[in-house]
Amino acid sequence: MEDDPGFPLWEGAVGLRPLHAHEAEVFAAAVLESIPELAPWMPWATPDYTLDQAQAWIDDTRDAFEADSKHEFAIVDRANRYLGGAGLNLRSDLHRSANLGYWVRTSAAGQGVATAAARRAARFGFEVLGLQRIEILVVAGNVGSLRVAEKLGATREGVLRNRLRLYDRPHDAVMHALVPEDFGLRTR
């Protein structure tokens, strides 16, 4: 997977590639840099995030990628600097759908990185995985992630009450969705 000639997948200056086995330190550094922005929405992002946690996540994502069950990517720039993560998870083969998630480290925020990465991940889902629907489920108060979904041109389908649980409390979530036609593609 490290030397796969098909990666990175580029969307302008933003690329997606599988996480490399040796990237725990760079991954953990990006998480720790971004705790104030990530922690309200991602309970795993804590000030005591460890290299062991980062390595476990990388190992899990690499195994899942190989098994074709979820596709988590490192977001990188042309210099291969780690900018964050984007991925397609919660895949349903029956419904040919998946959930799209993304996060960008603080030092790369506000530069269109998340939108470019999410767009490229969605195109991968439609073109490579043959998905017919990609959902973006965002906690109602997460303005940054909601803005990314809107910039992607995803259709806002509604608010799902008590859909997500964070910090032992239910939260409403906004559902956005993409279909191949949103990218000028045909549903297979």
Bigger pLDDT: 1 vs 36: 36
66 occurs within a structural domain: yes
pTM for the predicted model, two decimal places: 0.94
Residue 188 lies in a domain: no
Residue 100 pLDDT > 80, yes or no?
A: yes
Per the structure, the complete domain to which residue 106 belongs is given by 9-183
Residue 63 lies in a domain: yes
Question: What is the tally of structural domains in the chain?
Answer: 1
Q: In a 10 Å sphere around its CB, with 0-12 CB exposed, 13-18 middle and 19+ buried, how is residue 88 labelled?
A: buried
Q: How do beta strands 155-166 and 133-139 pair?
A: unpaired
How much is the average pLDDT of 8-12? 95
Assess if residue 3 is contained within a domain: no
* Per-residue model confidence as pLDDT tens digits over 152-179: 999 999 999 999 999 999 999 999 999 9
Average pLDDT over residues 120-147: 97
For residue 160, being part of any structural domain is answered with yes
Any domain includes 117: yes
Residue 4 lies inside a defined structural domain of this protein: no
- Predicted local confidence at residue 6, as pLDDT: 85
CATH code where residue 39 lies: 3.40.630.30
Do the domain assignments include residue 1?
Answer: no
pLDDT in tens, 110-131: 999 999 999 999 999 999 999 9
Q: Which residues are CB-neighbours of 103 under 8 A, at least 6 positions away? A: 34, 38, 42, 84, 85, 86, 114
